[in-house]
A and B are shown apart, each in its own frame.
Chain A
Amino acid sequence: MATKEIIRLENIRRNFIVGNETVHALRGVTFTINAGEFVTIMGTSGSGKSTLLNILGCLDTPTSGEYYLDGIPVKSMGKNDRSTLRNRKIGFVFQSYNLLPKTTALENVELPLMYNSSISAKMRHELASKALDAVGLSDRKNHKSNQMSGGQQQRVAIARALVNDPVIILADEATGNLDTRTSFEILVLFQELHARGRTIVFVTHNPELSSYSSRNIVLRDGKVISDTSNKKQASALEMLQKLPVETD
């Protein structure tokens, strides 16, 4: 099953011009990610992982090199085409959830489908409802975003990333704003999604998280310095159960 190529990076370089200097954020990154992988991308700040994430997410284009997403070359695409590509192929999960305020969970999850005119209102509703079921929020569908805890909000965000049935889920420090227990709950959810065959790229600076993924890529100074697959994935669920129950 894990043979289909979802992401293929070929010698990706990304330069930024700041004043008179050229900053090399990425200096030739090459790797592929196949369907069904759960990849963590690690690196300290300044390692280029945010730039890489932006390129993977089609928010940015490389200065040189080619990026294929699900077989589609992205580098030469225009802004609007990339928007549509994101809408159909990518699910984003951000550190700070980025839900619309004063809006129900269901409406938040429906949002990506609002920008896809081929999906009817009824279908949109059904898909959003299903996505919320998948993240375990069946009973919170009509709660507004400000009536939910951080963990619940992040679950809504994950449901939103799932709703368009993307080829890849890109998570940017998705547990960064959560306490340990909730972080593990979210990790459990990611592992569940992975188990169901989802391809996930999880960008983080937290090295502990690498043990829960199936593969770990480490970036430093814009280059891949290690790319290891993890045969013995730790179970986040077990860790969660070992955590002391909060009493206060």
Chain B
Amino acid sequence: MNLTNLTKIALKALYNNKMRCFLTMLGIIIGVASVITMLAIGQGSKRSIREQISEMGSNMIMIHPGNMERGGVRQEASSMQTLKLTDYKAIDEKTEYVSACSPSVNSSGQFIYGANNYPSTIYGITEDYLDIRKLSVEEGNMFTPQDVLTSAKVCLVGKTVADNLFPNGESPIGKVIRFNKIPFKIIGTLTPKGYNSMGMDQDDMVLAPYTTVQKRILAITYLQGIYCSALSEELTPQATEEIGRILRKNHKIKEGEDDDFEIRSQEELSSMLSSTTDMMTVLLACIAGISLLVGGIGIMNIMYVSVTERTREIGLRMSIGARGIDILAQFLIEAVLISVTGGIIGVLLGVGASAVVNVVFNWPVYVQAYSVVLSFFVCTITGIFFGWYPARKAANLDPIEAIRYE
């Protein structure tokens, strides 16, 4: 069998039926173009959903001292004093997967301003905390590293605290509130975040330098927790592992012994994220499959009609020496050429349409190389698969009857 000649024959046959050829291709073109556009839109929204979810702090890692037994009595975790400032420094300096890191100490109590008071919690942290918890300053400024060094008595207040202490709507900036008889100057307010999914008010907080809370309020040297954020949501497991390694080394924990700390990440958010994107992928795969199936049936239909229509031609080819396999190959090549050409046009159209969607509707789109390769591959397979049956029918024709077919 001479493939070059057969390809020439197939090309010639297609060229002689340009219109039919184009209409057959149309199914594949639309199929592939829609698959690519869908996937591009899907990937785009997947990415923007991912970004939004990570806004909620899906890459956040919390480290707390682990509870231990002391004389047979299991202690409350918060009473443990195993997390030190050196742990924070080690994490801050040595990790590769952590983008921000802040120690945390906190104290609950009554905040007083003039005749108003409100029970809340003061969190002792560093500036990084804003990034980690995705908080932002609405008015005023964040405290500086200098304030941390000098244990300055400055603070930022959340909306709930500000509303309760300043019910008349006056600006809290520059006011001095008291906590445990210690005066704190308000240097900023936090942008309201509302309640979280657990029903906790995320605006019910006061932020201050951790040194201030540690020394002036709690008078302790240990840390109650360390908050970190991984470079990205996907890198959270690596970051968690890395932090664990550093802390075990710092705490001189031997192989086989239990950790004296606990590392938690936002697994709930992570799993939500992956289930959302998985569902989207399945949905898109279904749509893609249906489009290509319809295109493939189009090919089969036209090829089938074409075989009947060209019975005489097939009969002639056979009588002048074409073997069954030559006829089969010719029709298969025709089908594959149609579907591959349609595939190429479809890819171009799909990429173009994605760009149009991006510009006109301002939707996030993202064309992935794999979707182009995949759809191209699939349409070739479609061509072979759906071209096979009609091609076999052509190859099995009896030349005696085919040549006299009217």
Contact = CB atoms under 8 A, between A and B. Distances in A.
Interface of A: 54, 57, 59-60, 79-80, 83-84, 86-88, 92, 94, 98, 100-103, 107, 111-112, 114-117, 160, 164
Interface of B: 1-2, 5-6, 8-9, 12, 16, 312-313, 315-326, 399-400, 403
A143 to B, nearest CB: 15
B12 A83 contact: no
A103 B16 contact: yes
A153 to B, nearest CB: 13
A145 B379 CA distance: 35
A83 B16 contact: no
Given A59-B399, A98-B312, A117 B321 contact: no
Contact of A86 (B2, B9, B319, B325): B319
Contact of B320 (A54, A101, A103, A111): A111
B84 to A, nearest CB: 82
A111 B9 CA distance: 9
A189 to B, nearest CB: 19
11 contacts: A59-B318, A80-B324, A80-B325, A84-B321, A92-B319, A98-B315, A98-B316, A100-B16, A100-B313, A111-B317, A115-B322
A160 to B, nearest CB: 7
Contacts of B1: 117
Given A79-B324, A115-B320, A117-B2, 4 more contacts: A80-B325, A103-B12, A114-B2, A160-B320
B202 to A, nearest CB: 75
Contact of A112 (B2, B8, B320): B320
A17 to B, nearest CB: 15
B317 to A, nearest CB: 7
B57 to A, nearest CB: 68
Nearest to A91: B320
B331 to A, nearest CB: 15
Contacts of B322: 83, 87, 115
B338 to A, nearest CB: 18
A88 B321 CA distance: 8
Contacts, number: 67
Contacts of B5: 114-115, 117
Contacts of B312: 98
Contact of B321 (A103, A107, A115): A115
Nearest to A94: B403
Given A114-B5, A115-B5, A54 B400 contact: yes
A57 B400 CA distance: 10
Contacts of B399: 59
A116 B317 CA distance: 12
B320 A87 contact: yes
A43 to B, nearest CB: 17
Nearest to A58: B319
Contacts of A111: 317, 320
Nearest to A57: B319
B400 to A, nearest CB: 5
A94 B319 CA distance: 10
A222 B326 CA distance: 34
A101 B323 CA distance: 21
Contact of A87 (B8, B9, B321, B403): B321
Contacts of B400: 54, 59-60
B321 A86 contact: yes
B313 A83 contact: no
Contact of A83 (B6, B315, B316, B321): B321
Interface centre among B12, B312, B320, B324 (most CB of A within 10 A): B320
A117 B5 CA distance: 8
A61 B320 CA distance: 17
Contact of B12 (A54, A60, A107): A107
B403 A98 contact: yes
Nearest to A78: B323
Nearest to B322: A115
Nearest to B316: A98
Contacts of A79: 323-324
Contacts of A112: 320-321
A98 B406 CA distance: 12
Contacts of A160: 320
Nearest to A98: B316
A115 B5 CA distance: 7
Nearest to B312: A98
